[in-house]
Amino acid sequence: PEKTYERKIKEVILAFQIEKSFTKEEIFALYCNQVYFGHGNYGVEATSEFLYSKPVGQLTLAEAALVAGLPQNPSRLSPVEHPDRALARRNHVLDRMVEERYISAEEAAKAKAEPLRLKLRKDRPSIAPYFLEEVRKYLEREYGSQRIYQGGLRVYTTLDTSMQLAANQTLRQGLLRLDRRARGFTPPTATVLKDGEFPPTVHLEDWDAPITVGDVVRGVVESSDRSLAVVRIGEYKAILGQPEVSWTGRRNVSEVLPRGAIVPFLVQSLGEENGEKRAKVFVEQEPRVEGSLLALEPKTGAVKAMVGGFDFERSKFNRATQAYRQVGSAFKPIVYAAAVERAGYTPATIIVDAPISFPDNQGVWTPHNYDFTFWGPIPMRRAIEQSRNIPAIKTLQAIGIETGIEYAHKLGLTGDLPAYLPLAIGAGEATLQEMTAAFGAFANEGLRMKPYYVARITDREGNAIEETRPVAKDAIRADTAYIITSLLKGVVERGTAARARALKRPIAGKTGTTNDYTDGWFIGYEPKLAGGVWVGFDEKRESLGRGADGAHTALPIWMEFWAAATKDRPIDDYPVPANIVFVPVDADGQPAMPGEAGVRMEAFVAGTEPKAHSGAAVGGGP
């Protein structure tokens, strides 16, 4: 209650301040130019262009009334998806205008008789709604609403269109796969039917953008029976039989695709048959599993692609920038970076992977490894490559919990970082953007770049107003960053992310999984690009299912995106700091004997390389 009163008082004070600074007409203009009207549109001008392909000043009374009624509930009242509701709302607005004596009853009656004649602007598919919302928030914060909507700003962003399209498709398809695994088939509930009948016009937002092979697009079931269903997807017609719905386990096609249902479909091919556009598609389902994907340049912080969820219209909550989730084993590189820099750890440092217990508030905490086994003394390299929990916990215990938290802050994490040992295995929280930027520092010789979305801004004459200069923070030493990169390349070459070897690129990265499989992560990078994927349910306690670790949930999505994003990129080498030396070592990380098998070159900070076999170990006690 106190918070409610406090908020109301603040609102009253703010209202007084606004009324002192602006006239009623100016306040109304500001409202009209920034409120959300649906389909990614803010303000009456953008909405008018989207729905009717003309400026707001050219709208008819009926069209203007329809637009005016949308802010109450843009999704539910969308004239694109719910024309009957939109018309009813329009007529209510006209009635209120008569009551307030803005128009006559005759004018209202004439406007009500006007049919819904949308002329959707086809050249404006919003391929990056979450990204553009971040841009809008930044502009509003820096320049204020009035300047944004009335000042004629030209904004140039960091978005890479081809990368964004790949991000959209790979995350969307990945979440559909995961949802099948987590929930199985769930019959569709969304329908276009009104009292069992089709409305005069049916148009879905998915159809505004060009439909291409590989897309997941919503369609409407026009008819169905036990063996076949006819589906309309924009200009395309698709006929589905049992093979196209087989994964659902249902033999009756109409149970999967009831008449009138709105259902997502994966587009396999597009063509023409007897002069009619045809599509071959497979049925999907609206997932409850959510996720996010973000890619940025480690050397600048420029965000190149970002998806904050399965569907912006369904949920505008940005899971790439706003969702603080436990990061699981993706936190371990931060612990080991602190150990390398503060305690002189090396990839060859021996850590004992053995049972250990600690007193806590509930009595005793006895952590375990993912596979419930213990491997005894192992080098730090093997500990991180195979994501062993006990060595990470012992390392954090050795360097001090506060040191681990300090390095997390240095690398840009701002979420809850509890000051106890489970922090080592991911009990702390961070956003996907924070984690991707932190790993970007490993790729960028220890410099963490602040993520940004706006490259430059000019006025309508082209005069520069803002030119973004990348903001760097010296997070860790360059030699530390190189050691961690070397370790994380091993995760891909031999460890939990080994399937990413198939991409044949110099990828370094780390998987992450939380307790009960509630979150799956993979953050990976090359010298000039870093990217991350998170998947999970919005309800933090809901599990993705037994065995749904980061390697099987987030990593496949990341790999599909990475293959597309780096398709035409050259392969770059990580710069080697001057004080890094390479020593031939055996499987235990000790200097190799002449003629020994299984020898590899290991990276060390000069002065920390092993001179001879050593049995010393860290964390040998219970």
State pLDDT tens for residues 496-515. 999 999 999 999 999 999 99
pLDDT bracket for residue 341 (50, 70, 90) = very high
What is the rounded average pLDDT of the residues 167-195? 91
Q: Rounded to 5 degrees, what angle do the CA atoms 530, 448, 608 make?
A: 95
State pLDDT tens for residues 114-152. 998 888 775 555 789 999 999 999 999 998 877 776 667
What is the rounded average pLDDT of the residues 77-87? 90
What is the rounded average pLDDT of the residues 26-45? 79
What is the rounded average pLDDT of the residues 365-379? 95
% residues pLDDT > 70 (the chain): 95
What local confidence, expressed as pLDDT, does residue 236 receive? 95
Question: Taking the CA of residue 522 as centre, how many other CA atoms within 13 Å lie in the half-sphere pointing to its CB?
Answer: 29
Strands 600-605 and 358-360: unpaired
DSSP string for residues in 38-51:
ETTEESHHHHHHHH
pLDDT bracket for residue 161 (50, 70, 90) = very high
% residues pLDDT > 90 (the chain): 73
pLDDT bracket for residue 613 (50, 70, 90) = low
SS3 assignment, position 66:
helix
For the chain, which residues make up each domain, given as ranges?
Answer: 186-283, 290-566, 578-616
State pLDDT tens for residues 211-251. 888 888 999 999 999 999 999 999 999 999 999 999 999 99
pLDDT surpassing 60 at residue 26: yes
| Average pLDDT over all residues of the chain | 91
* Residue at 558: amino acid letter: W
Which of the two residues, 486 and 619, has the higher pLDDT score?
A: 486
- For domain 290-566, the CATH superfamily is DD-peptidase/beta-lactamase superfamily (3.40.710.10)
What local confidence, expressed as pLDDT, does residue 618 receive? 55
pLDDT bracket for residue 622 (50, 70, 90) = very low
What is the rounded average pLDDT of the residues 378-392? 98
What local confidence, expressed as pLDDT, does residue 201 receive? 79
pLDDT surpassing 60 at residue 394: yes
What local confidence, expressed as pLDDT, does residue 19 receive? 72
pLDDT surpassing 90 at residue 621: no
Judge whether 509 and 500 are in contact, CB under 8 Å.
Answer: yes
What local confidence, expressed as pLDDT, does residue 122 receive? 58
Element (H, E) at 378: strand 376-379
Q: What is the pTM of this model?
A: 0.79
DSSP string for residues in 500-527:
GGGG-S--EEEEEE-GGG-EEEEEEEET
pLDDT surpassing 80 at residue 597: yes
Which of the two residues, 460 and 84, has the higher pLDDT score?
A: 84
CATH T-level fold of 186-283: OB fold (Dihydrolipoamide Acetyltransferase, E2P) (2.40.50)
State how far the alpha carbon of 352 is from the alpha carbons of 363, 379, 382, 622, in Å. 24, 9, 11, 10
pLDDT surpassing 50 at residue 310: yes
pLDDT bracket for residue 85 (50, 70, 90) = very high
